[in-house]
Structure 1
Amino acid sequence: MAAEQTSKTIEAYPMKGGDGVHSYANNSSYQGRVNNAANRLITEAVVEILDIENFASSNTFRIADLGCSVGPNTFFAVQNIIEALQFKHQRQGLHSQLPEFQVFFNDHILNDFNTLFSSLPPNREYYAAGVPGSFHSRLFPNASLHFVFSSFSIHWLSKVPKPVVDKSSPAWNKGRIHYPNSNDEVVKAYQAQYTEDMECFLHARAKEVVCGGLVALIIPGRPNGMHHSQSLTTDVLESCLMDMARKGIISEEKVDSFNIPMYFMSPQELEAAVDRNGNFRIERIITELGTVPETQSQKIPSDFRAVFEGVIMEHFGYEILDELFDSFGKKFEVEFITKPMSGSSSVFFALLKRKATN
């Protein structure tokens, strides 16, 4: 049967590929540390919540990492899941029934899969496959996945909300590149796009995940009750772009039409989305899994480039990248000294379990 089709328009801006100085592979240590902090939670989820007896008839256990990007983080996460499964089988006396493992590494079609697969662990205990495409739509056959993992991915929207680039809209985001510190109409436009995208994400996963299967999410967001203006902002990057516009390097109109397709949800917003979907039960939400540590502030400019270079290059071209991020690094250093970022970014962990069908 052909895969379920979707008419949803998807914009793809993957992380910086390769293994160079500006690559995501070499500038994602913070994400890696947060993933490591979540390893215990994922192990507990497998040992305490996953009902492996329900999957005994299948000799293959299928795991998917949605938004895997490049670099070692995805491999460490997958290995942790497999080791937890092996431990659970051994503890329950089912070692002889240990299944084979198949792991699907998913990201946008423009992701650097060559670098990803050239760095696969040579002694891995699983069969690996790449699955290109957006996780905002269907990627896998019905009831084919047992464990879904996604880290630092679902805060990316499928596209920039249309109203924020429409000059006739009250949500036109002139002079800004994101929604923190913008007017309420801009925030509402981003919220509406997030709501639509999460509906698509959960609908697709409900089709793909077996009953009793788990979905583990590591989500950059904001605590319940925190105002959007306190979310991680891109003011410094915005200021650097406006400086370049004033110098005539890029046009101000080009800056006005640029917005970052990213939304920082709260745990309450995730809970509401899961309730609306109705196919999952939230097993756990752990808040404050990670924050931006002050001792790592010097790494933030290079991390920003690895994450945002793709979306900036697509809009402005590659010619401005070096000058832009050189300026960003200098401005950020001054900003951080006068106004530290502590508390401006929060990461939480959510574990969902696929309900049984009626």
Structure 2
Amino acid sequence: MKTTLRTFLAAAALPSIALAVYAPIPEQEQGKALSYRLGASTYHDSNIFGGATNEIDSMVYNVNAAISYNGSVSDQTFASGSYEISNDHVADRPGKQNLTSHSLSGRIAHSFAQDTNIDLSAAYNIAKNPQSLLAGVPLNTDQSFKRGQFDGRYTTAAGAKTGVVVKYRYINFSYDNAALATDLDRDENLAGLELSYAYLPETKLVAEYRHQTIGYDTANALKDKTSNYFMVGGDYNPGKDIMFSGRAGFEKRDRDNGSDTTAPYIELSSRYAYAEGSFFAAGYVHTIEEPSDVDRFTDTQVNRLFVNLQHQLSGAFTFSGSITYEPSELQGRPGVNVDVEEKTTRLGLALSWRPTKNWTVIGSYDYDDVNSDDVNRGQNRDRLGVSARFTF
């Protein structure tokens, strides 16, 4: 399958050091600047459009290829980039059955000094067969979209025990379907300033401010909003194998059309590498996010709990598991809709076998369930399949 697990959750559990200059490189890509990957998979999708009723199931056959670059431009500069093309043949999909997706990413990190570095990355995805589908869209609607993202991070020291981090993120969403584009096409800008103090060698205290703007392409006055986040917290790293991180504070959200709100903001994460190739990670986030139905709802208040596990079995086998549980409340627009309670569960399981350094075979299962007070937003979907890839 294109994505055997929801690996973005694993990234969320990593400490801030994960954005340091020399990030880990996949084992198959180590020792050479350029690497190539060929892959194929087949899986059964029980609900290809994510419909609440009249679900359409289908076998999906995929072929994909990728090229990656990882290399040190100089002693102080690291660069990486990748491009992937992936084609899904959805056998029982009404209309177009061959869906070709593209993914392009690049990163450059430069160390000015031992305690000062900058990290810039960008990604652009054309997703024709999205892994996670929107809840509540009209039946059998094409949910293909384009997503661009840029991240920047500048880290420096203000003293022997104090640090400063300046962050910026830009995201653009663009949907192919005209109705979805009218509702959901938007830009998101997020800038942040983090100040830290090394209370102990393994303990860092943190204060952070973030400013976010969300601007929609159409009906701006109805949907645009601005948020200011204020939070405090800390990072605790008693050893290289264990990490705890937490931030708590509040978000003040100003809506262009609708009442303003102040809500708690919490993000907690932990990671424990208990053996070679094995780790456990868990976390919790409470935040406000954009809904998939912006005509009836202003925002979604989300509680997101996640657990990730990777366990190196005997021989060349590795088991991976990921589960998220999201109790949320969609905030109804005054005079249009009442608040709606919703619970989303996402599960991913995979067993990978690496008979050689170059070959990987994976059996995987993904399950999505949306249980909503609004029956038109409910969703149930599972995917069971097998994939193989060759890296050289």
Query: TM-score scaled to structure 2, two decimals?
Result: 0.28
Q: Normalized per residue, which structure has more strand?
A: 2
Say which one has the larger Rg.
2
Instruction: Tell which has more relative contact order, 1 or 2 (C-alpha 8 A, sep 6+).
Output: 1
